[in-house]
């Protein structure tokens, strides 16, 4: 099976004194559904940052979607990022843009047609139950609503890989279920690889998934 | 209009730059016009024993525009009754010749001094009256006026630039966030900064239109015309094509430069 991510002796750090991930080896199959758990501060977000190229590997090799991220050029990185769907832990919505425009961002960057873009955004707004908020600005929304906007944006351009950092962290049970259904749907129907950082793996998961746990700088599969 | 306030600060800054620029231009023009006015009214008087060669004098002194011999007739007329015709002819020959020298432009005191010295060196001329004292005062007054206005315009410019740099930090922060987010979704640099450049261009055009309207209005105001008339000069207050092109150019240059600063100062956060 194709590998969408291959890490060899991967070390991650923000400074020379402290290594967050230490010589990790793992690979993720294309089309799989992966959970990453770990205590607060264990390095889950740090690992995701390295996967979308915001944190360069300190040592080792990290290949995502066929692109080696150790020493990657900015044009290659842009190319890769166009095909990723990221849900950030702090949402990272553009405050001065409406909800609608925020969701459009990946579609604009990928050069989609205007009419396609509008249809896609309408359908996503319906899925994340934010149709009535389309013209609002992020600071006018609750945390949970902002998180759903971020989810919709990550799904907008049918990415090959979704990276979601605690995407249900601020949601009630009902809204969380909406998010899990969307992620499962993308994985099942579009064969999108999904990697989710979470504290609780939902009991209702309908798809087969893998589970990695981060502890003391090591990434280990939970069988 | 969420972004109205963002627009406002840059527009006002640009507007004040355009305003001080145009005021400076107008003062410059007024002084030039006034100098020309002075130059046409100003003349040196040279006294020569013999008739001088006007053409060679003009050739030797590029500053001299024209030389006109003052007729002694007026003086002689007064003596007419008491003198014989023969004596008058004789007097006419022995009387020194008076020349009025018109200059090309209003001279600086230094130019005036050099010219006088040079004229006196030519053997036929033995006296030059340059009315130095009045000339000096007028000229110094002009210079003072120009200095005061320049300092004023420069101060406005300086304060505005400082203001812009203070705002720049805020803009940098605001745009940095959006540009980083766009970058995380793979937007190339030109796309990340497109919004910024559009904003810069729109603001420059708004500031230009406001300045244009303001000076168009002022240039048709009776009061302004009366002021210039009272000094006795005619000044193009607002040259619709020339001045507006300069204004638009300056506004665009400054705001695009600011946008470039922001793009270059953009840092991706981890
Ligand atoms: N931008 C940063 N600069 C320096 N240290 C950081 C930065 N972000 C996170 N860290 C540190 O890295 C460690 C892992 O953080 P993180 O990956 O965010 O943990 P979590 O598993 O809770 O997502 C923490 O000790 C945190 O303090
Ligand atoms: Mg985290």
For the stretch B38-70, pLDDT in tens is 777 778 888 888 887 878 878 888 888 888 888
Residue A187 CB less than 6 A away from ligand 1: no
Verify whether the Cβ–Cβ distance B178 to A94 is below 8 Å: yes
Probe ligand 1: pick from A11, A14, A17, A87, max atoms within 8 Å of CB?
A: A14
Domain boundary among A143, A158, A173: A158
Residue A41 CB less than 6 A away from ligand 1: yes
Task: Looking at the CA of residue A46, tell me the nearest atom of ligand 1.
Answer: 17
| Percent above pLDDT 70 for chain B | 93
pLDDT at A149: 94
Report which DSSP code applies to A133.
G
Q: Is residue B135 part of a domain?
A: no
Q: Is residue A79 part of a domain?
A: yes
Report which DSSP code applies to A132.
G
User: B265 and B158 in one domain?
Assistant: yes
User: A202 and A149 in one domain?
Assistant: no
Q: Is residue B138 part of a domain?
A: no
Cα separation, B77 vs B232, in Å, equals 35
Nearest CB to A81 within list B177, B178, B184: B184
User: A183 and A219 in one domain?
Assistant: yes
Q: Is the pLDDT of residue B270 over 60?
A: no
Q: Is residue B144 part of a domain?
A: no
Q: A136 with A96: CB under 8 angstroms?
A: no
Q: B200 with B6: CB under 8 angstroms?
A: no
Cα separation, B9 vs A220, in Å, equals 54
- What burial letters (b/e) apply to A127-136, b meaning 16+ CB within 10 Å? bbebeebeee
User: B191 and B244 in one domain?
Assistant: yes
User: A67 and A25 in one domain?
Assistant: yes
Q: What residues of chain B lie within 8 A of the CB of A14, using their CB?
A: 270
Q: Is residue B107 part of a domain?
A: yes
Cα separation, B176 vs B180, in Å, equals 6
User: A25 and A10 in one domain?
Assistant: yes
User: B180 and B79 in one domain?
Assistant: no
Q: Is the pLDDT of residue B77 over 80?
A: no
Q: Is the pLDDT of residue B6 over 80?
A: no
User: A213 and A109 in one domain?
Assistant: no
Q: Is residue A130 part of a domain?
A: yes
| Strand bridging mode A33-38 / A193-197 | parallel
pLDDT at A160: 94
User: B173 and B238 in one domain?
Assistant: yes
User: B250 and B155 in one domain?
Assistant: yes
| Domain membership of residue B57 as a residue range | 43-130
pLDDT at A43: 92
User: A147 and A42 in one domain?
Assistant: no
pLDDT at B4: 67
Cα separation, A217 vs A43, in Å, equals 7
User: B232 and B100 in one domain?
Assistant: no
Task: Assess A51–B contact: CB distance below 8 Å, yes or no.
Answer: no
Check residue A187 and give left, alpha or beta (phi > 0: left; psi -120 to 50: alpha): alpha
pLDDT at B171: 76
Nearest CB to B186 within list A79, A96, A97: A79
Q: Is residue A90 part of a domain?
A: no
Q: Is the pLDDT of residue B234 over 90?
A: no
Beta-carbon contacts of residue B104 (< 8 Å; ≥ 6 apart): B39, B62, B63, B64, B65
User: A174 and A130 in one domain?
Assistant: no
Q: Is the pLDDT of residue B1 over 60?
A: no
User: B259 and B154 in one domain?
Assistant: yes
How many separate domains does chain A show? 2
Cα of A68 to ligand 1 centre, how many Å?
A: 23
What sign has the CA pseudo-torsion B150, B151, B156, B157? Answer: positive
> What value of ipTM does the predicted structure carry?
0.91
What phi and psi, each to the nearest 5 degrees, are found at residue A67? -110, 125
pLDDT digits (tens, 9 = 90+) for B117-133: 888 887 778 888 877 66
Residue A14 CB less than 6 A away from ligand 1: yes
User: B191 and B253 in one domain?
Assistant: yes
Q: Is residue B119 part of a domain?
A: yes
Q: Which of A35, A23, A26 is nearest to A163 (CA)?
A: A35
User: A130 and A173 in one domain?
Assistant: no
Cα of A57 to ligand 2 centre, how many Å?
A: 18
The residue of chain B with its CA nearest to that of A55 is B270
Q: Is residue B142 part of a domain?
A: no
User: A47 and A13 in one domain?
Assistant: yes
DSSP states along A20-43: EEEEEEEEEETT-EEEEEE-TTSS
User: B53 and B28 in one domain?
Assistant: no
Q: Is residue A193 part of a domain?
A: yes
pLDDT at B268: 67
Q: Is residue A176 part of a domain?
A: yes
Alpha carbons within 13 A on the beta-carbon side of A209: 23
Q: What is the mean pLDDT of each run of 10 residues along chain A (223 residues)?
A: 89 90 91 93 93 92 92 91 94 93 95 90 92 94 91 94 91 86 91 92 84 90 86
Verify whether the Cβ–Cβ distance B187 to A109 is below 8 Å: yes
Q: Is residue A88 part of a domain?
A: no
Cα separation, B167 vs A68, in Å, equals 40
Verify whether the Cβ–Cβ distance A80 to B181 is below 8 Å: no
Range with the poorest average pLDDT among A118-132, B15-29, B99-113: B99-113
Q: Is the pLDDT of residue B2 over 60?
A: no
CATH code of the domain covering residue A185 = 3.40.50.300
Strand partners, A26: A7
User: B211 and B109 in one domain?
Assistant: no
User: A141 and A48 in one domain?
Assistant: no
Burial of A40 (0-12, 13-18, 19+ CB in 10 A): exposed
User: A118 and A77 in one domain?
Assistant: no
User: A164 and A54 in one domain?
Assistant: yes
Strand partners, A6: A27, A63
Q: Is the pLDDT of residue B269 over 80?
A: no
Strand partners, B125: B48
Cα separation, B165 vs A63, in Å, equals 42
pLDDT at B71: 79
Domain boundary among B96, B130, B164: B130
Q: Which residue has the higher pLDDT, A21 or B108?
A: A21
User: B122 and B166 in one domain?
Assistant: no
| Strand bridging mode A210-215 / A33-38 | parallel
Cα of A74 to ligand 1 centre, how many Å?
A: 24
Residue A38 CB less than 6 A away from ligand 1: yes
Q: Is residue A89 part of a domain?
A: no
| Domain membership of residue A175 as a residue range | 1-83+159-223
Residue A216 CB less than 6 A away from ligand 1: no
Q: Is residue B230 part of a domain?
A: yes
Task: Find the ligand nearest to A36 CA.
Answer: 1
User: B229 and B125 in one domain?
Assistant: no
Provide the 10 A C-beta neighbour count for residue A163.
26
How many separate domains does chain B show? 2
Q: Is residue A202 part of a domain?
A: yes
């Amino acid at each position: 099976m194709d590998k969408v991510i291959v890490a060899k002796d991967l070390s991650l750090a923000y400074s020379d004194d402290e290594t967050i991930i230490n010589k990790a080896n793992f690979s993720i199959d294309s089309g799989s559904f992966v959970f990453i758990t770990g205590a607060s501060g264990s390095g889950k977000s740090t690992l995701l940052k390295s996967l979308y190229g915001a944190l360069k590997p300190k040592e080792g090799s990290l290949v995502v979607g066929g692109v080696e991220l150790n020493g990657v050029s900015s044009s290659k990185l842009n190319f890769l990022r166009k095909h990723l769907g990221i849900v950030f832990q702090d949402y990272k919505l553009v405050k001065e843009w409406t909800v609608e425009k925020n969701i459009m961002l990946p579609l604009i960057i990928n050069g989609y047609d205007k009419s396609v873009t509008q249809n896609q955004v309408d359908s996503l707004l319906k899925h994340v139950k934010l149709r009535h908020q389309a013209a609002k600005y992020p600071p006018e929304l609750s945390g949970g609503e902002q998180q759903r906007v971020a989810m919709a944006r990550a799904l907008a351009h049918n990415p090959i890989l979704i990276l979601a950092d605690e995407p249900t962290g601020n949601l009630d049970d009902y809204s969380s279920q909406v998010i899990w259904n969307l992620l499962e749907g993308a994985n099942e129907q579009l064969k999108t690889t999904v990697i989710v950082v979470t504290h609780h793996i939902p009991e209702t998961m309908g798809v087969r998934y893998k589970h990695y746990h981060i502890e003391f700088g090591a990434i280990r599969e939970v069988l | 209009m969420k972004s109205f306030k963002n627009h406002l600060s840059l527009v006002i800054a640009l507007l004040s730059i355009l305003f001080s620029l145009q005021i400076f231009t107008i003062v410059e023009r007024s002084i030039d016009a006034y100098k020309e006015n002075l130059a046409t009214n100003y003349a040196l008087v040279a006294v020569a024993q013999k008739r001088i060669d006007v053409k060679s004098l003009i050739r030797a002194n590029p500053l001299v525009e024209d030389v006109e011999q003052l007729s002694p007739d007026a003086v002689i007329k007064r003596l007419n009754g008491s003198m014989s015709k023969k004596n008058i002819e004789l007097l006419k020959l022995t009387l020194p010749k008076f020349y009025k020298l018109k200059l090309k432009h209003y001279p600086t005191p230094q130019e005036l001094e050099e010219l006088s010295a040079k004229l006196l060196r030519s053997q036929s001329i033995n006296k030059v009256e340059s009315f130095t004292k009045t000339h000096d005062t007028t000229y110094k007054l002009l210079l003072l006026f120009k200095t005061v206005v320049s300092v004023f315009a420069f101060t406005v410019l300086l304060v505005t630039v400082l203001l812009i740099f203070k705002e720049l930090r805020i803009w940098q922060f605001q745009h940095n966030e959006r540009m980083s987010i766009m970058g995380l979704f793979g937007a190339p640099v030109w796309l990340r900064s497109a919004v910024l450049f559009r904003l810069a261009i729109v603001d420059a055009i708004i500031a230009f239109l406001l300045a244009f309207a303001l000076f168009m209005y002022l240039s048709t105001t009776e009061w302004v015309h009366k002021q210039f008339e009272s000094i006795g000069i005619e000044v193009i207050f607002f040259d619709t094509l020339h001045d507006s092109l300069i204004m638009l150019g300056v506004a665009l240059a400054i705001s695009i430069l600011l946008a470039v600063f922001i793009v270059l100062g953009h840092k991706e956060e981890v």
